[in-house]
Chain A
Amino acid sequence: MSVSTDKPSFDSAREHLGKIYAKGLLGAAEGQQVTERVLAELDSLVDDVLDKLSDFEQLLSSPRISVEEKQRVLEAAFATRMSPVLLKFLKVTARHGRMDCLRQVRSAAHTLFNEMRGRVEISVETAEAINSLLMSQIQQRLTTALGRQVELHCRVNPQLLGGLVIRVGDTVYDGSLENQLARMRSETLDRAAQLIRDSLQRFLVTQ
């Protein structure tokens, strides 16, 4: 069974678990000062292994496979290629039967790590692909405006027509042409309707 959905599914319970496990992982990694390496390995584990070998992911998350079996497989597969902190973490996660939350752990770990380092993740949407010069300018301006280090994620969305949309956390700064046109339309219609209501005679055809 291979489930491939375009939309990333969201499960608030798993999201919550992911946060707790990510906190534990980061705590352990910080203690040995290998956090960046561990995060990179976790990224590669999800992107290069789990995404490509869905059977392997199922094996890890299946409740039918015993914990000992899972730990043995993990040991055999990663013992030489992975930092010991991450391997231990995976074994603990397997023992708790939470291997299905690995993706959530990964995203939560990145968010937490950025917070710890005082970095903000910002997504920028534009109508057309922007060149690196413009991108570095945007990055510089945002860094000074927010007073924190900025990690940019760019996305192209032709529906915007022009301008750009910046998203910091849950706050969206929308300077897109699409949004401006929509707002101009609704405001103009509202005002014109109000004007017609206030002075109806002006708009009637006199016969």
Chain B
Amino acid sequence: MRFNADEIASVIQKEIEQYESQLDVREVGTVLDVGDGIAHVYGLSNVMSGEMVAFPNGVNGLAFNLEESSVGIIILGNYLDINEGDEVRSLGQLLSVPVGEAVIGRVLDPLGNPLDGKGPVITNERRPVEFLAPGVAGRQPVSEPLQTGIKAIDAMTPIGRGQRELIIGDRKTGKTAIALDAILNQKNSGVKCFYVAIGQKDSSVAGVIKILEDHGAMDYTTVIVSGAASPAPMQYIAPYAGTSMAEYFMFNGQHALIIYDDLSKQAVAYRQLSLLMRRPPGREAYPGDVFYCHSRLLERSAKLSKELGGGSLTSLPIIETLEGEVSAYIPTNVISITDGQIYLQPDLFFAGIRPAMNPGISVSRVGGAAQVKAMKKVAGGLRLDLASFRELEAFAQMGTELDPATQSRLDRGYRMVELLKQPQYQPMPVLDQVLSIYAGTRGFLDSVPINQVAAWEKAFLAYMHDRRQDVVDELAQANDLTDGVVAKLNAAINDFKAGYKPTTGATAAR
């Protein structure tokens, strides 16, 4: 590709000829001090809170603190080129980011600048980064499911479109893995996905992008990165910027999913800014409005009313706890804001139960209404059963003699736990999940050795799709467990069990 320099020169000449000079009126101030991503400016007497300002080196900032004799600015970019005494001008605009189809498949920074080397983001549409959430009249209850493709979640803590479901757990418990599986499962569902990486190692973000690319998920996903090396103001605005890009689809009647990975780092960045601005510290040195910082962000996830197009924005915020401490400040805040949480535990994770979800304290407050009927029927009560199984298991470990009823409950529990294990990056279609969990909860697995459960499930699903597609089709059509479907399903499972031969030498059931 070669450019024609003459043509470009003629265009530039024409532009210069057409240029109309206007008097440039601007409001200015002077930098008093600068450092750590913030600057204090004298002047700018009419600047408004949240207004954009420009520094002479081309970097923009946001008016963050309006004080009696100076203005505190958070600098969105490289603050090392800014000097004391520089002229700062207010731009009379709010911070905005490019939105639209053009951002899909891109890796962007919180200002919408490309980081993937695929050229500029070509779109004429922009949305303000800070945008008021839809009001009461603009919403409707959550009614459609958002399938994550993870059996444990879709069965026990179902997520609806427009819901906010928190993923919380210690480091290295598989929080990001759940979010990634949820993105991978949105393939062909029309849901646009946004992954906001805040304060993470660039190497792990690169790993995430690689996985998304390998599984073909970048066709419908945008990654917004503000890594650990980027200044605190960028980490602070990243989730708002990502939400603006996702909101575009919601307000156009489409569906979007956004993952904030993770909000604890954003809270830390916000704490840094607030302390540097000398706002008074509160609990754990976080500023008083850190709750509002998260609530106004998560409130922007919504299921819009029919009049507004019925679009939705589902969010999966992630919070990292320290030593399982959910009663720390930020975790309790975000738990109280969201519509439920998926709690991941390290001991489960290391016991090989992955996803390491603790069914006892994981809940989904609104997702049940959105669950598909068939799943609701097979999985109803599963969460409580599993939770009580955990208690029973602890009791049984003391070596007491158990009556047969208790023993059978234990056996069922072991098999359900085994059945709910799922390898990474292998989201499962909801019908397959219904078939598996049906087999488990109705006791068809009781005679299968525990270590054979996964192989049994795999063979069973293959059998259903190869030989008894008619039953699967009927289930898909009814989308419910009607009596007819149940009868056929029972017959199919019994047929399969009759012909099933374990692949390796099976050990006796415990």
Contacts and interface: CB of A to CB of B under 8 A. Distances in A.
A205 B4 contact: yes
Contact of A195 (B3, B11, B24, B69): B11
Contacts of A15: 69
Contact of A16 (B4, B68, B84, B89): B68
Contacts of A7: 84-85
Nearest to A202: B7
A203 B4 contact: yes
B28 A170 contact: yes
Interface stretch (B15-23, B140-148, B217-225): B15-23
B190 to A, nearest CB: 28
A40 interface: no
Contacts of A173: 23-25
B264 to A, nearest CB: 34
A8 to B, nearest CB: 9
Interface stretch (A29-37, A41-49, A54-62, A177-185): A177-185
A10 B26 contact: no
B12 A12 contact: no
A171 B3 contact: no
A179 B68 contact: no
Contacts, number: 81
Given A188-B15, A205-B4, A10 B23 contact: no
B144 to A, nearest CB: 38
Contacts of B30: 10
Interface string A147-179: 000000000000000000001011111110001
A192 B17 CA distance: 13
A172 B25 contact: yes
Interface in A91-117: none
B69 A188 contact: no
B45 interface: yes
A205 B26 contact: no
Interface string B5-17: 0011001100110
B2 A172 contact: no
B122 interface: yes
Given A170-B44, A203-B8, A16 B69 contact: yes
Contact of B122 (A179, A192, A197, A202): A197
A97 to B, nearest CB: 21
Contacts of A175: 23-24
Nearest to A189: B12
Interface of B: 1-4, 7-8, 11-12, 15-16, 19, 21, 23-30, 32, 40, 42-46, 67-70, 84-85, 89, 120, 122
28 contacts: A10-B30, A10-B42, A12-B68, A12-B69, A16-B69, A167-B28, A169-B45, A170-B44, A170-B46, A171-B28, A172-B25, A172-B27, A172-B28, A173-B23, A174-B25, A175-B23, A175-B24, A180-B21, A183-B21, A184-B16, A184-B19, A188-B19, A192-B11, A192-B12, A196-B11, A204-B3, A205-B2, A205-B4
Given A12-B32, A172-B25, A173-B24, 5 more contacts: A170-B28, A172-B26, A172-B27, A174-B23, A195-B11
Ranked 4 nearest A-B pairs via Cβ: A174-B24, A188-B15, A12-B69, A205-B2
